[in-house]
């Protein structure tokens, strides 16, 4: 993997570990991911990077048994304003 990708994963895991303090989830009913940033790259690659960062920390795995549904969106923004919004729905009350 390229160094820039490894650094992105490292940074993303740092932020995720501040946000997620529970054990990794074995099943998520729905995952919403909204990307805001420059219009570069593919949406499927972007979400793959997010899932790689979440794996073993927020979710046990990124396969369809753990995350059967995804909803993705992209909004163009300046690089300085780039961010990713993640919303997970899980548990018995979905």
Q: Which residues contact 83 (CB under 8 A, 6 or more apart)?
A: 36, 37, 77
- Is residue 33 one of the residues assigned to a domain? yes
**Residue 33, beta-bridge partner list:** 72, 86
Which residue range is the domain that position 62 belongs to?
A: 3-89
Q: What is the pLDDT of residues 35-66, one digit of tens each?
A: 999 998 899 999 999 999 999 999 999 999 99
**Cβ atoms within 10 Å of 4's Cβ, excluding its own:** 8
> At 76, which CATH number?
3.30.1330.70
- Is residue 94 one of the residues assigned to a domain? no
Question: Percentage of the chain surpassing pLDDT 70?
Answer: 97
Q: What is the pLDDT of residues 9-44, one digit of tens each?
A: 999 999 999 999 999 999 999 999 999 999 988 999
Look up residue 35 and give its two tokens: 């990307």
Question: Contact, 42 vs 83, CB < 8 A?
Answer: no
Number of domains comprising the chain: 1
- Is residue 9 one of the residues assigned to a domain? yes
């Amino acid at each position: 993997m390229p160094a820039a990708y490894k650094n992105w994963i490292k940074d993303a895991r740092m932020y995720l570990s501040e946000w997620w303090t529970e054990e990794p989830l074995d099943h998520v009913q729905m995952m919403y991911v909204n990307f805001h940033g420059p219009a570069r790259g593919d949406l499927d690659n972007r979400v793959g990077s997010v899932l790689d960062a979440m794996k073993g920390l927020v979710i046990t795995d990124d396969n369809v048994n753990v995350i059967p549904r995804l909803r993705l969106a992209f909004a163009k923004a300046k690089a300085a304003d780039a961010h990713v919004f993640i919303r997970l729905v899980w548990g018995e009350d979905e």
